[in-house]
């Protein structure tokens, strides 16, 4: 694309005009081939940030990013393929439980996941706390694991939506990430390219989530459901609360341990609720009509746990190996007696990050053992001086920063409130 053509598109969007599909596809294709410089793409992204994209433009952008790489065909697996994507939260280890659970119920689950950045954790960082586990698989390895275990959790390879990979990196350094059409097309281009036939989105709402408000989260969910449907992927979304951490563990190894408990039928109520709601929606989309109670039964009778071990082994990991343990631990005690009324997800996520569980830059290593355990959660009784949180780290110097993040993170009130459902609603085409 000639530089002047790109200038025309930037000007049109800057002035609030509409870009036609052919122009978007040509521009994104040229950017993926390195024929459009970052400074022009940055200007366009900022114009999009302020002016937005309508449904047709968002569809064209998504298609252009899918078409910039290969689209996997998983039609030969002999099982319905169904995936889940979460917009990310604190303590969100649902994928670790859900993928093997669905595999144990007859679906094939090709789950492409990411690494943590900032206060939200990444599924791959969690799984890599297991000795030997490999997330970087070729397309052929991904298929082999899917055939052997029924599910695979791995990184998106460089051949899937490469234009998104370049654009996402640019958005990260030009303050253009938090823009609904850009987020929706970025997420959906990878999910469409991975070849799943069904997809359930878990769009988190609240202080620990990308979208703090329900209205924005709903708009993001509706945009993604429409994009999936238009590209032939049966898609629906659940809106779920992310005001406090999901489950009790926040970190990497500690979340694997909690996932194993959940796969053995002993998970915390909120994690089980969200996992079961997503599983039921995935089964519905996949057309797997199972007797009532099968989802709970697969968690309780060891079927899902057995699939998890098979997946870990197929990806080079040792499901029997001890998980790393942090040498330094410190507790945060309740300042008064009563019931926990609020446990701030963002503060707990930031504390776990500062303890070493997350990274500040993409290249950073994470600590497998660091994290936070929520010993009391919303609605639970606590006496003054009893521990509410346990902080774990491999580097004692990190406690100070983590404790700083937790100032004001816990409210204790004299009266308890009943537990709230984490599931706010379902969005279908």
Judge residue 12's burial from the number of C-beta atoms within 10 Å of its C-beta, 0-12 exposed, 13-18 middle, 19 or more buried. middle
Query: Quick one: which segment of 92-100, 103-111, 175-183, 273-281 binds ligand URA (CB under 6 A)?
Result: 175-183
Nearest-approach distance from CB 214 to ligand URA, in angstroms: 18
DSSP string, 294-315: HHHHHHHSSHHHHHHHHHHHHT
Instruction: Name the active-site residue from 13, 63, 84, 85.
Output: 85
Cβ(99)–Cβ(310) under 8 Å?
Answer: no
171 tagged catalytic: yes
- Choose which of 65, 99, 101, 187 interacts with ligand URA (CB under 6 A): 187
119 tagged catalytic: no
Cβ(342)–Cβ(378) under 8 Å?
Answer: yes
Report the phi/psi class of residue 413: left, alpha or beta, with left for phi > 0 and alpha for psi in -120 to 50. beta
Cβ(354)–Cβ(95) under 8 Å?
Answer: no
Cβ(214)–Cβ(239) under 8 Å?
Answer: yes
Integer distance in angstroms from the first to the last C-alpha of the chain? Answer: 36
Q: How many other CB atoms sit within 10 Å of the CB of residue 18?
A: 12
Q: Considering the rule CB under 6 A, would residue 237 count as an interface residue with ligand URA?
A: no
104 tagged catalytic: no
Beta bridge partners of 84: 200
Nearer to ligand URA, 187 or 199 (CB): 187
Nearer to ligand URA, 86 or 262 (CB): 86
Q: Considering the rule CB under 6 A, would residue 168 count as an interface residue with ligand URA?
A: yes
- Choose which of 104, 111, 186, 236 interacts with ligand URA (CB under 6 A): 186
15 tagged catalytic: no
> Which tokens sit at 387?
């521990």
Nearer to ligand URA, 168 or 399 (CB): 168
> Which tokens sit at 24?
């978007």
164 tagged catalytic: yes
Query: Quick one: which segment of 71-79, 179-187, 238-246, 284-292 binds ligand URA (CB under 6 A)?
Result: 179-187
Nearer to ligand URA, 52 or 265 (CB): 52
Instruction: Name the active-site residue from 59, 171, 191, 359.
Output: 171
Q: Considering the rule CB under 6 A, would residue 49 count as an interface residue with ligand URA?
A: no
**Chain contacts with ligand URA (rule: CB under 6 A):** 168, 177, 182-183, 186-187
> Which residues carry out catalysis?
85, 164, 171, 186, 190
């Amino acid at each position: 694309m000639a530089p002047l053509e790109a200038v025309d598109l930037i000007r049109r969007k800057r002035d609030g005009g509409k870009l036609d599909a052919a122009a978007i596809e040509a521009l994104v294709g040229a950017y993926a081939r390195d024929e459009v410089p970052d400074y022009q793409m940055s200007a366009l992204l900022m114009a999009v940030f302020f002016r937005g994209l309508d449904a047709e433009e968002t569809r064209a952008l998504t298609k252009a990013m899918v078409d910039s790489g290969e689209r996997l065909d998983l039609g030969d697996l002999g099982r319905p393929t169904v995936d889940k994507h979460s917009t990310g939260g604190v303590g969100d280890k649902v994928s670790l439980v859900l993928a093997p659970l669905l595999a144990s119920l007859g679906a094939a689950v090709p789950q492409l996941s990411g690494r943590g950045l900032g206060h939200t954790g990444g599924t791959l960082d969690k799984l890599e706390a297991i000795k030997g586990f490999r997330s970087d698989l070729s397309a052929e390895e991904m298929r082999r694991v899917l055939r052997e275990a029924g599910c695979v959790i791995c990184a998106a390879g460089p051949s899937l939506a490469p234009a998104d990979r370049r654009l996402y990196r640019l958005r990260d350094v030009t303050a253009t990430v938090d823009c609904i059409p850009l987020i929706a097309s970025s997420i959906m281009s990878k999910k469409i390219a991975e070849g799943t036939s069904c997809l359930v989105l878990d769009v988190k709402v609240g202080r620990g989530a990308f979208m703090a408000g329900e209205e924005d989260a709903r708009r993001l969910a509706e945009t993604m459901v429409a994009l999936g449907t238009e590209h032939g992927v049966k898609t629906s979304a659940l809106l779920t609360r992310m005001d406090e951490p999901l489950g009790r563990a926040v970190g990497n190894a500690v979340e694997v341990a909690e996932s194993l408990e959940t796969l053995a039928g002993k998970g915390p109520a909120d994690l089980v609720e969200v996992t079961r709601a997503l599983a039921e929606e995935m089964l519905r989309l996949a057309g797997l009509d199972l007797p009532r109670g099968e989802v709970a039964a697969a968690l309780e009778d060891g079927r899902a746990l057995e699939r998890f071990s098979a997946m870990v082994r197929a990806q080079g990991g040792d499901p029997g190996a001890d998980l790393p343990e942090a040498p330094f631990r410190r507790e945060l005690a309740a300042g008064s007696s009563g019931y926990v009324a609020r446990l701030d997800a963002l503060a707990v996520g930031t504390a776990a990050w500062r303890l070493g569980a997350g990274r500040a830059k993409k290249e950073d290593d994470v600590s497998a053992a660091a994290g936070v355990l929520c010993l009391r959660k919303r609605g639970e009784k606590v006496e003054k001086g009893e521990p509410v949180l346990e902080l774990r780290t491999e580097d004692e110097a990190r406690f100070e920063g983590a404790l700083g993040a937790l100032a004001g993170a816990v409210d204790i009130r004299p009266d308890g409130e009943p537990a709230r459902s984490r599931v706010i609603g379902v969005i279908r085409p």
